[in-house]
């Protein structure tokens, strides 16, 4: 009985340490963000080769109820449920919805994603991550975007168990936004696909962050795009 209680307590503690990204701005959970498969469990994706690495959708093909209007050049917050409790890099990617589809219907497949935000650790006696314990991440929506619908993908890679292959944990969701007021000159140089952007052995993914403490760190994926 005591063992069962201990196992149950450990499982509960582990679940509490996990998190989701269910909302943007000051909106309700899953109103403009597609319901993620971990909306109840908070569990991560661990296989970078699976389709779940794209938007981690509970029901692929079923969009969120709404599309959020955003002005190019403005700042938007992407919110974590609870807080980002694990160490690791935070990134946001954006993908333009093709003509004839909407942010609520498009699947986001192909080499269509560009990175618009990335944080990196402070190095020294330990690795200090700017997103750890944060409840939201603020991202600037590039002023040079073309007007239209987009998917905005939030991704936090937890590295506390990343010393073995598939040990990194990915916490992901995709928001549906419609951008207006952009100059239309955005021309990303490094488009990636999900899956495809990362491999399980990439140095920013397969890493022991505790010993020996790394003296450098480069997040996986492309560089951040600018206008």
In this model, does residue 182 exceed pLDDT 50? yes
Residue 8 pLDDT: 34
Residue 98 belongs to a domain with what CATH number?
Answer: 2.70.50.70
- How many domains, the chain? 1
At 123, give phi and psi (nearest 5°).
-105, 150
Indicate whether 103 belongs to any domain. yes
Q: Over the stretch 110-146, which tens digit does the pLDDT of each residue have?
A: 999 999 999 999 998 889 999 999 999 999 999 999 9
Beta-bridged to residue 33, according to DSSP, are 175
Residue 54 pLDDT: 98
> In the chain, what's the furthest Cα-to-Cα distance?
64
In this model, does residue 89 exceed pLDDT 50? yes
The rounded distance, in Å, linking the Cα atoms of 118 and 169 is 17
In this model, does residue 95 exceed pLDDT 60? yes
For residues 150-165, give the mean pLDDT: 97
Residue 165 pLDDT: 96
Indicate whether 196 belongs to any domain. no
Report CA-CA distances (Å) from 165 to 46, 169, 172, 204, 205: 9, 11, 19, 12, 8
In this model, does residue 17 exceed pLDDT 90? no
Indicate whether 16 belongs to any domain. no
Residue 25 pLDDT: 98
Residue 221's region, left for phi above 0, alpha for psi from -120 to 50, else beta, is left
Asked if residue 36 lies in contact with residue 60, where contact means CB atoms within 8 angstroms, the answer is: no
Residue 82 pLDDT: 87
Indicate whether 221 belongs to any domain. no
Indicate whether 225 belongs to any domain. no
Record the pTM. Answer: 0.92
Indicate whether 169 belongs to any domain. yes
Residue 13 pLDDT: 36
Where in the sequence is the domain holding 31, given as residue range(s)? Answer: 21-180
Q: What is the residue-averaged pLDDT of the chain?
A: 92
Q: Over the stretch 187-205, which tens digit does the pLDDT of each residue have?
A: 999 999 999 999 999 999 9
For residues 216-225, give the mean pLDDT: 96
**Cα torsion through 131, 136, 142, 147, rounded to 10:** 150
Q: Over the stretch 27-84, which tens digit does the pLDDT of each residue have?
A: 999 999 999 999 999 999 999 999 999 999 999 989 999 999 999 999 999 999 989 9
Share of the chain above pLDDT 90, in %: 90
In this model, does residue 7 exceed pLDDT 90? no
């Amino acid at each position: 009985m005591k063992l069962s209680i201990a196992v149950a307590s450990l499982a509960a503690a582990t679940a509490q340490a996990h998190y989701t990204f269910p909302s943007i701005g000051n909106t309700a959970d899953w109103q403009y963000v597609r319901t993620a498969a971990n909306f109840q469990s908070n569990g991560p994706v661990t296989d970078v080769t699976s389709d779940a690495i794209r938007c981690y959708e509970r029901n692929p093909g079923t969009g969120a109820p709404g599309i959020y209007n955003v002005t190019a050049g403005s700042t938007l917050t992407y919110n974590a449920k609870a807080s980002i409790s694990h160490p690791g890099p935070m990134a946001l990617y954006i993908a333009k919805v093709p003509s004839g589809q909407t942010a609520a219907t498009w699947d986001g497949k192909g080499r269509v994603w560009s990175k618009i935000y990335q944080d990196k650790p402070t190095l020294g006696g330990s690795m200090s991550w700017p997103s750890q314990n944060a409840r939201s991440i603020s991202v600037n929506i590039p002023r040079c975007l073309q007007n239209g619908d987009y998917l905005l993908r939030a991704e936090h890679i937890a590295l506390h168990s990343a010393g073995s292959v598939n040990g990194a944990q990915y916490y992901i969701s995709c928001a549906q936004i419609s951008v207006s007021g952009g100059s239309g000159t955005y021309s990303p140089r490094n488009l990636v696909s999900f899956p495809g952007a990362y491999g399980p052995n990439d140095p920013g993914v397969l890493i022991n962050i505790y010993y020996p403490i790394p003296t450098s760190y480069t997040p996986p994926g492309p560089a951040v795009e600018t206008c």
